[in-house]
Amino acid sequence: MSRGDMILHLFAGGCGGTVGAILTCPLEVVKTRLQSSGFSLHPFCLNPGVQLSVTGGGVLRPASFSPGLLEVLRNILEKEGVRSLFRGLGPNLVGVAPSRAIYFAAYSGAKENLCKVLKPDSTSVHICAATFAGFTSVTATNPIWLVKTRMQLDTR
């Protein structure tokens, strides 16, 4: 792969990741809040009228209310305002642009090298290149995602 192609892949991945992160940030915030608020269980062995909820620590407790997507969204808007739907966008942008850039560049580089060893453009080349690219980008940017999640859970 030429240096120009590598830079093009880095730039394209970074731009695509940035636009995607901005558009999906409100959904990410709601998803993170839903994941941290617990979920309802209806075990077969219990009375169907009894609803249990799993807390963050994995502890079962009776739950009278398990918030849904719209309830969480409305709650965020009422109590925290529209800006809070973009909480964690900074670290997300700091992470997603390099993550996508690293992924695109690693995928194209791995694919080019694997085509020399395996049957060119075969399924195994694509699978191996994608695996390598995913591992590389996730490993390099994992600390940024931790910061983003903690910011999204902050209700100040």
Q: Rounded distance, CA 125 to CA 131, Å?
A: 10
| Domain locations in the chain as residue ranges | 3-37+67-153
Within a 10 A sphere around the Cβ of 40, how many other Cβ atoms? 12
Residue 64 Cα to chain centre, angstroms = 29
DSSP string spanning 74-141? HHHHHHH-GGGGGTTHHHHHHHHHHHHHHHHHHHHHHHHHHHHHSSTT-HHHHHHHHHHHHHHHHHHH
Percentage of the chain beyond pLDDT 90 is 30
Mean pLDDT of the chain: 79
CATH homologous superfamily of 3-37+67-153: Mitochondrial carrier domain (1.50.40.10)
Q: Give pLDDT, residue 41.
A: 41
Report residue 57's pLDDT band, with 50, 70 and 90 as the boundaries: very low
| Mean pLDDT, range 31-51, rounded to an integer | 57
Q: Give pLDDT, residue 140.
A: 87
pTM (2 d.p.): 0.59
